């Protein structure tokens, strides 16, 4: 890679600092990005990755430091400037307006799309981008965003960034782009990024999937506590080295955990579906797998609706389905157990606080104070609050809908340990995930295809290949 | 600086309180410092009616975008008329009259709910339509009926402790209870959760149907109560007694700092904004401003307060 100092870097960040109240999110970060370079950024939740991406994308203004782009320091750097300079960003939290149609979202990015016939041009732009990145995507350009499953919304958001009208794209920032994509779409995206890099488009890639980062980037930067702690070519790195840099011990495997003799326990869930019934007993962790948008989420929602008060739901789609943005960490946590905390319809502040503090230390929510606003937390820490909200209640059934989106390896391990502990206490856990590795935490896994169950796999016989085969049931 | 900013953000009623004090000061200054107490006392009495309906409207608006109760003035008039008609100016029939007023409120709330939750009609249209029907009922009923309050109720609505109206004291207490309820009760938390993110509220196990039912019924009950008290206070019901209340019920909520986007309510703001709006009218009357100009100035002052209060950057 052009790291020999002869080529002017595309981006040069020097001494970038950013604070949110008492939380120091970025501390004197230096970073260079060369044209056409694929740079991976990894780090645990709250390490400052997303904040750095937002500073670079112009959606946050740094408190300190300088940004130079292609050798020049833009004045009043913001989203508009970033866009004009050819910097595009796909955020971790989906940011498309749900009421718009696919082609209309392009208009928001490209103000040049105006006058008679813009919808036609917009359709062509987004259609071509989708075809180029995700061949065989099956997304109509007239579809309403809100009606698309989360994976397809993410695909539209990614494709939209790669549309070009009046300015050439120079840098694409992808914050956890693959966490809500299925395996196939993720692979397509990573391939496309390689092609784009060859055309000179640099790509900044934030992910918790370390293997993905190692095999699809040129250089990897590790962040910890708002600082860059390592910066090295990807070729010389291993997963274990990265994990060590991130400040965590390696190795996360669920195999060998005690298998439960569950069939003797009471049946908690019995949902009739095409292809068979989804059954779950007390004390079991059940996986729901398959490509995104094939009926797993509908199954969870049907169970939730049918089990009023006995099931708790955790969604990975935090802004739409999890977070109450005006509230503190504590209130976001206790909102799921109002009934339990109430004395004659009223809550006691001291009790609420004690409960929130207890969960903060129990699952390690990184905040100086549970009275801080929930939005001051990083995505992964917000997710911990949502999981605590569900687990702290008395629900017999925990429904986890892709709950580890944007959650780092260490946190994931802690949360899965918590989930298994809950199951051991006699709860029944249903986990929908598109990551096969997460299925290793499940006693049994049901694979979905077009709303039907195509396979039921016990943990002992689980393999990526079996899951994939069942995910394409009638395609081969 | 930062903490002061945060305090202002979480206590938006301070702006309308400052406005109210400024307007009151101007008014008193313009007449040479006389009648300060009397002006305030009168303002407290009249503002109470805005507060009663404002609290209901605030609950509805806090339940999230699209939620609004436009039937408030019609409920007030219908409840006022029916209650006065039943009372026939006799103390013996006072309880019956009050029961009728609250019955009107309950029925109106249920009717709104059936339209909104049952028939899925947007609240703005549903409550407006329900309001039209009630208005027509009032007009039909008002022909040839007496509309005078029972003497006891009339006396109660005018009673004062020192120079403070008793109804103002009662609804100061009610407002405090509502504020406590919003912050600490299951119902209050449910309303604010639904107002911020209805989907997340559903998935967190909040009882949406029950909460929304209570919100609309409370709004209608408070409107009916306001109608009953206003009819008594004015010495009888009249067809135009609540014509100001459609705009005012919304203005006091928004001016007071309740978020129009839902999820954030300010009960104190309903009180301070009600005082501000009444004092503005008083001031303009004292200045001898004509009705047309008065409306324009009132509008400009509302815009001014909102611009100051909402003038923070959206980060």
Q: To the nearest whole number, what is the mean pLDDT of chain B?
A: 90
Reply yes or no on whether the pLDDT at A382 is more than 70: yes
Chain B residues whose CB is inside 8 A of the A323 CB are 197, 200
Q: How many CB atoms lie within 10 A of CB A84?
A: 12
In a domain, B315, yes or no: no
Residue B51: per-residue pLDDT: 96
Reply yes or no on whether the pLDDT at A136 is more than 90: no
> Taking residues A4-27, what's their average pLDDT?
79
Q: Is the separation of the CB atoms in A235 and A43 below 8 Å?
A: no
Reply yes or no on whether the pLDDT at B214 is more than 70: yes
Portion of chain A with pLDDT greater than 90, in percent: 28
Task: Give residue B166's domain range.
Answer: 13-309
In a domain, B290, yes or no: yes
Q: Where are the alpha helices (DSSP H) in A369-408?
A: 379-392
In a domain, B6, yes or no: no
In a domain, B275, yes or no: yes
Domains (ranges, CATH) in chain A?
11-246 (3.40.50.300), 267-475 (3.40.50.300)
Q: Is the separation of the CB atoms in A383 and A412 below 8 Å?
A: no
Instruction: Give the integer Cα–Cα distance in Å for B254 and B273.
Output: 9
Closest partner residue to A338 (CB to CB) among B181, B186, B197 is B186
Reply yes or no on whether the pLDDT at A475 is more than 50: no
Name the interface residues of A facing B (CB cutoff 8 Å).
21, 304, 309, 312-313, 315, 320-327, 331, 335-336, 338-339, 342, 345-349, 389, 393, 395
Number of structural domains (chain B) is 1
Reply yes or no on whether the pLDDT at A251 is more than 60: no
Q: Which residue pairs, CB below 8 angstroms and at least 24 apart, start in B158-166?
A: B158/B233, B160/B41, B163/B37, B163/B38, B163/B41, B164/B41, B164/B44, B165/B41, B165/B44, B165/B45, B165/B48
The model's pLDDT over B29-38, given as tens digits with 9 standing for 90+, comes to 888 888 888 8
Closest partner residue to B186 (CB to CB) among A21, A315, A342 is A342
Residue B310: per-residue pLDDT: 62
Residue with tokens 């943990």: A459
Reply yes or no on whether the pLDDT at B223 is more than 70: yes
Instruction: Please state which of the ranges A109-113, A339-343, B173-177, B253-257 shows the lowest mean pLDDT.
Output: A109-113
Instruction: Please state which of the ranges A382-391, A440-449, B144-153, B192-201 shows the lowest mean pLDDT.
Output: B144-153
Closest partner residue to B203 (CB to CB) among A313, A331, A349 is A313
pLDDT confidence band for B112 (50 / 70 / 90): very high
Q: What is the ipTM of this complex?
A: 0.88
3-state secondary structure of A290: coil
3-state secondary structure of A266: coil
pLDDT confidence band for A206 (50 / 70 / 90): confident
Query: CA of B83: how far to CAs of A362, B88, B166, B233, B251, in Å?
Result: 58, 9, 21, 13, 27
Burial class (CB in 10 A: 0-12, 13-18, 19+), A183: middle
Burial class (CB in 10 A: 0-12, 13-18, 19+), A366: middle
Residue A247: per-residue pLDDT: 67
pLDDT confidence band for A379 (50 / 70 / 90): confident
Reply yes or no on whether the pLDDT at A255 is more than 60: no
In a domain, B94, yes or no: yes
Q: Which residues have a Cβ under 8 Å from the Cβ of B236 and sit 6 or more positions away?
A: B84, B147, B148, B149
The model's pLDDT over A155-170, given as tens digits with 9 standing for 90+, comes to 998 999 898 877 788 9
Residues 166-225 of B with CB under 8 A from A: 181, 184-187, 189-190, 192-193, 196-197, 199-201, 203-206
In a domain, B235, yes or no: yes
In a domain, B203, yes or no: yes
What is chain B's Cα-based Rg?
A: 20
Reply yes or no on whether the pLDDT at B132 is more than 80: yes
CATH code assigned at B258: 1.10.3470
pLDDT confidence band for A93 (50 / 70 / 90): low
Residue B21: per-residue pLDDT: 92
Residue A209: per-residue pLDDT: 78
Residue A425: per-residue pLDDT: 82
In a domain, B26, yes or no: yes
Stated pTM of the model: 0.74
Q: To the nearest whole number, what is the mean pLDDT of chain A?
A: 84
The model's pLDDT over A271-303, given as tens digits with 9 standing for 90+, comes to 888 888 898 888 889 999 988 888 999 999 999
Closest partner residue to A389 (CB to CB) among B190, B192, B204 is B204
Residue A1: per-residue pLDDT: 44
């Amino acid at each position: 890679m052009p790291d020999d100092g002869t080529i002017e870097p595309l981006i040069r960040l020097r001494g970038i600092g950013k604070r949110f109240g008492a939380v120091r999110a970025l501390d004197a970060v230096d970073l260079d990005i060369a044209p056409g370079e694929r740079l991976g950024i990894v780090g645990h939740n709250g390490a400052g990755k997303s904040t750095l991406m937002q500073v670079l994308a112009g959606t946050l203004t740094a408190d300190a430091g300088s940004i130079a782009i292609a050798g020049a320091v833009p004045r009043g750097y913001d989203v508009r400037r970033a866009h004009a300079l050819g910097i595009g960003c796909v955020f971790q939290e989906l940011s498309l307006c749900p009421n718009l149609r696919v082609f209309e979202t392009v208009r928001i990015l490209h103000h040049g799309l105006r006058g008679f016939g813009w919808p036609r041009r917009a359709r062509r732009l987004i259609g071509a981008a989708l075809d180029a990145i995700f061949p065989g995507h099956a997304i109509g350009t007239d579809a309403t965003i809100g009606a698309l499953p989360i994976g397809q919304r993410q695909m539209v958001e990614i494709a939209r960034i790669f549309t070009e009208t009046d300015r050439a794209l120079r840098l694409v920032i992808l914050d956890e782009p693959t966490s809500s994509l299925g395996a196939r779409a993720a692979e397509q995206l990573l391939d496309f990024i390689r092609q784009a890099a060859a055309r000179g488009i640099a790509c900044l890639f934030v992910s918790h999937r370390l293997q993905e980062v190692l095999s699809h980037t040129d250089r990897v930067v590790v962040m910890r506590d708002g600082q860059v702690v390592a910066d090295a070519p990807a070729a010389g790195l291993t997963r274990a080295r990265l994990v060590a840099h991130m400040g965590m011990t390696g190795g996360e495997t669920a195999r060998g955990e005690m298998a439960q003799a569950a069939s003797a326990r009471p049946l908690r869930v019995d949902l009739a579906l095409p292809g068979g019934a989804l059954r779950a007993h007390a004390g079991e962790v059940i996986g729901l797998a398959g490509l995104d948008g094939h009926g797993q989420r509908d199954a969870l929602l049907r169970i939730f609706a049918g089990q009023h008060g006995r099931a708790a739901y955790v969604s990975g789609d935090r802004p739409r389905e999890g977070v109450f943005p005006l509230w503190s960490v504590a209130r976001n946590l206790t909102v799921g157990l109002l009934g339990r905390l109430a004395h004659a319809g009223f809550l006691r502040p001291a009790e609420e606080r004690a409960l929130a503090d207890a969960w903060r230390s129990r699952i390690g929510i990184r905040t100086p104070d549970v009275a801080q606003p929930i939005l001051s937390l990083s995505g992964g820490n917000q997710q911990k609050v949502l999981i605590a909200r569900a687990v702290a209640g008395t629900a017999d059934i925990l429904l986890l809908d892709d709950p580890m989106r944007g959650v780092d390896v260490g946190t994931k391990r802690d949360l899965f340990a918590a989930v298994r502990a809950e199951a051991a206490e006699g709860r029944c856990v249903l986990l929908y995930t598109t990551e096969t590795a997460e299925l290793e935490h499940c006693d049994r896994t049901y694979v979905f295809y077009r709303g039907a169950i195509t396979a039921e796999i016990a943990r002992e016989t689980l393999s990526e290949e079996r899951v994939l085969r069942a995910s394409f049931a009638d395609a081969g | 600086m930062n903490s002061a900013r945060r305090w202002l953000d979480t206590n938006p009623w301070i702006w309308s309180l400052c406005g109210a004090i400024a307007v009151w000061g101007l008014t008193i200054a313009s007449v040479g410092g006389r009648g300060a107490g009397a002006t305030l006392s009168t303002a407290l009495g009249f503002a109470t009616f805005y507060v009663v309906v404002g609290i209901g409207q605030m609950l509805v608006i806090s339940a999230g975008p699209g939620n609004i109760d436009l039937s408030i003035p019609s409920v007030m008039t219908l409840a006022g008329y029916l209650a006065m008609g039943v009372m026939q100016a006799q103390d013996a029939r006072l309880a019956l009259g009050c029961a009728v007023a609250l019955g009107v409120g309950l029925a109106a709330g249920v009717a709104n709910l059936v339209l909104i939750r049952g028939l899925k009609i947007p609240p703005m249209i549903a409550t407006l339509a329900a309001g039209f029907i009630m208005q027509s009922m009032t007009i039909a009923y008002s022909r040839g009926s007496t509309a005078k309050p029972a003497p006891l109720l009339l006396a109660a609505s005018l009673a004062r402790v020192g120079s403070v109206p008793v109804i103002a004291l009662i609804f100061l207490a009610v407002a405090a209870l509502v504020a406590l309820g919003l912050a600490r009760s299951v119902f209050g938390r449910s309303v604010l959760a639904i107002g911020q993110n209805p989907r997340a509220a559903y998935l967190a196990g909040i009882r949406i149907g029950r909460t929304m039912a209570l919100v609309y019924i409370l709004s209608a009950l408070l409107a009916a109560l306001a109608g009953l008290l206003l009819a008594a206070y004015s010495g009888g019901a009249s067809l135009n007694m609540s014509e100001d209340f459609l705009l005012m019920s919304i203005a006091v909520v928004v001016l007071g700092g309740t978020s129009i986007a839902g999820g954030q309510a300010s009960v104190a703001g309903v009180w301070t904004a009600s005082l501000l709006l009444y004092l503005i009218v008083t001031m303009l009357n004292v200045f001898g401003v004509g009705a047309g100009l008065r409306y324009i100035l009132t509008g400009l002052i509302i815009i001014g307060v909102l611009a100051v209060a909402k003038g923070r950057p959206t980060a």
